[in-house]
Amino acid sequence: MARNFGSLDRRQAVQALLADRGDLLVVSGLGSSSYDVFDAGDHPGNFYLWGAMGGAAMVGLGIALARPQRPVAVITGDGEQLMGIGSLLTIAAHKCANLSIVVLDNGHFGETGMQISHSGLGARLDLIASGAGIRSVTEITDLKGVAEFRGELHHITDGPRLAIVRIASGHVERVLPPRDGVYLKNRFRENLGLAVT
Amino acid sequence: MDDSATTESATKEAATSGPDWPLEIYRTLKAFGVSQISYVPDAGHSRLIELSHGDGAIKTTVLTTEEEGVALSAGAWLGGDRAALLMQSSGVGNCVNMLSLLASCRIPLLTLVTMRGEWAEFNPWQIPMGKATPQAFEIMGVTVLRLERPEDAAEVVSAAASLAYESDQQVAVLISQRMLGRKKWTETR
């Protein structure tokens, strides 16, 4: 059933993306993407979504607009991005230069029984993103590509950009980040120097 | 959303019937330091949308669907901005699941909703969502305030903004359809 969609190890890929992260702010989408980002190293500049399916990219846009001098990365799965597919149009229309979206694409709904996603059934997220008007769209199939894109993640003048990372669909152990939303909010804001109210 | 001819006539009527309440709302949002406004268009919000686009200090975002604005408002708050979301009542149902993000993280929301389906409505398809609008917010814990008279605009929006930004609440201001003016079907071109 679960045909091999890509070959990259998702944990390795996300670790490589977040290596020497500097002042990068990260929003992770519901499901395995949140586990991947946490596994790469917990950080107060991470905001893990445990719900709000389809909303990760828009949360990232709100942060990026509020903090134009900071690079912002949304790391999410194909299923999560598909549910908020219209947000690609909204982000493209804004030409938000400091925002990157990384879609970890295994062509499956990994959290819910590995049903094949629209991406797995042939939808081309790269073409959809280009058609929406996202300035830079990259397809990544190996760790060399991940390393190259890691550098771009830190640029704050030439976004928005989107990368499709072709990951393997095999099972990966769950590694659970904190689930308390108020805690995650407060530490994210505190890390930006904002008062906890 | 309406066709442009209808939008224009609706806007004209609202603009000539009493106080300039969209300007009052705009000034109130500015006084509260709102720096992000997102919207799904509505004729009743057209003046406020224009004011927002015309203000270089406000980052204005047009959305494809209302729940995007809920998630955007959350991101704005995380980054230190105050946001407001404009929509019409037809879009409120779209927001229900995304509102759980704000409840789970106790993140403020200020949304201004122009009502359809409640006063001299000519389109029966607007009525079910219009009727369900207060309950759709309330089932997700959103506080619902009503704006019935143009002269109350600043006071009601100010109260809503305090509740949202100072008490971390999710607040919707429902702007009554009566106040927006009866829609005219005058073709302008």
Contact check, Cβ <8 Å, A62/B62: no
B23-77 tens-digit pLDDT? 999 999 999 999 999 999 999 999 999 999 999 999 999 999 999 999 999 999 9
**A141/chain B closest Cα distance in angstroms:** 30
d(CA A66, CA A39): 27
Interface residue A54 vs chain B (CB under 8 A): yes
Residues in chain A: 197
d(CA A130, CA A136): 8
pLDDT value of position B48: 97
In this prediction, residues A104-132 reach a mean pLDDT of: 93
Position B7, amino acid: T
DSSP H or E stretch at residue A104: strand A99-105
Q: Is residue A188 part of a domain?
A: no
Q: Is residue A174 part of a domain?
A: no
The band of B186, judged by pLDDT with boundaries at 50, 70 and 90, is low
Interface residue B179 vs chain A (CB under 8 A): no
d(CA B79, CA B71): 13
**pLDDT higher than threshold 90 for residue B168:** yes
How far are the Cα atoms of A29, B114, B174 from residue A67, in angstroms, in the given order? 20, 30, 31
Q: Is residue A144 part of a domain?
A: yes
The token duo for A4 is 């091999």
- Reported in sequence order, the residue ranges of chain B that DSSP labels E, i.e. its strands, are 34-39, 59-62, 82-88, 109-114, 143-147, 170-175
**CA-angle at A158, arms to B64 and A104, nearest 5°:** 65
The band of B18, judged by pLDDT with boundaries at 50, 70 and 90, is low
Contact check, Cβ <8 Å, A59/B75: yes
Query: Helices B4-16 and B46-53: crossing angle, nearest 10°?
Result: 90
Q: What percent of chain B has pLDDT over 90?
A: 83
Structural domains of chain A, count: 1
pLDDT value of position B12: 46
B135-162 tens-digit pLDDT? 999 999 999 999 999 999 999 999 999 9
Q: Is residue A181 part of a domain?
A: no
Q: What percent of chain B has pLDDT over 70?
A: 86
Contact check, Cβ <8 Å, A55/B77: no
d(CA A50, CA A30): 5
CATH number reported for the structural domain that contains residue A25 in this entry: 3.40.50.970
Interface residue B64 vs chain A (CB under 8 A): yes
pTM: 0.93
Contact check, Cβ <8 Å, A192/B79: yes
**B9/chain A closest Cα distance in angstroms:** 28
The secondary structure of A142-173, three-state, reads CHHHHHHHHHHCCCCCCCCEEEEEEECCCCCC
Give the full edge-to-edge strand order of the sheet including A136-140: A46-48, A25-28, A72-77, A99-105, A161-166, A136-140
In the stretch 4-43 of chain B, residues with CB closer than 8 A to chain A read 35-36
pLDDT value of position B183: 62
The band of A2, judged by pLDDT with boundaries at 50, 70 and 90, is very low
How far are the Cα atoms of A54, A108, A141, A161, B134 from residue A138, in angstroms, in the given order? 21, 20, 10, 8, 44
Domain extents in chain B? 4-180
Interface residue B162 vs chain A (CB under 8 A): no
Contact check, Cβ <8 Å, B74/A87: no
In this prediction, residues A69-83 reach a mean pLDDT of: 97
Domain holding A27, by residue range, is 10-168
**pLDDT higher than threshold 80 for residue A153:** yes
Q: What is the CATH number of domain B4-180?
A: 3.40.50.970
Query: Omega of the bond prior to B108 within 30 degrees of 0, cis?
Result: no
The band of B181, judged by pLDDT with boundaries at 50, 70 and 90, is confident
Residues A171, A196 contacting (CB under 8 angstroms): no
The band of B9, judged by pLDDT with boundaries at 50, 70 and 90, is very low
Task: Name, in order, each residue with C-beta under 8 angstroms of B155's C-beta and a sequence gap of 6 or more.
Answer: none
The band of B3, judged by pLDDT with boundaries at 50, 70 and 90, is very low
pLDDT value of position A196: 83
Interface residue B123 vs chain A (CB under 8 A): no
pLDDT value of position B182: 65
Q: Is residue A60 part of a domain?
A: yes
Q: What percent of chain A has pLDDT over 70?
A: 98
State the average pLDDT for chain A: 95
In this prediction, residues B109-117 reach a mean pLDDT of: 97
Q: Is residue A5 part of a domain?
A: no
**A58/chain B closest Cα distance in angstroms:** 5
The band of A66, judged by pLDDT with boundaries at 50, 70 and 90, is very high
Residue of B nearest to A192 (CA): B79
pLDDT value of position B45: 96
Contact check, Cβ <8 Å, A61/B101: no
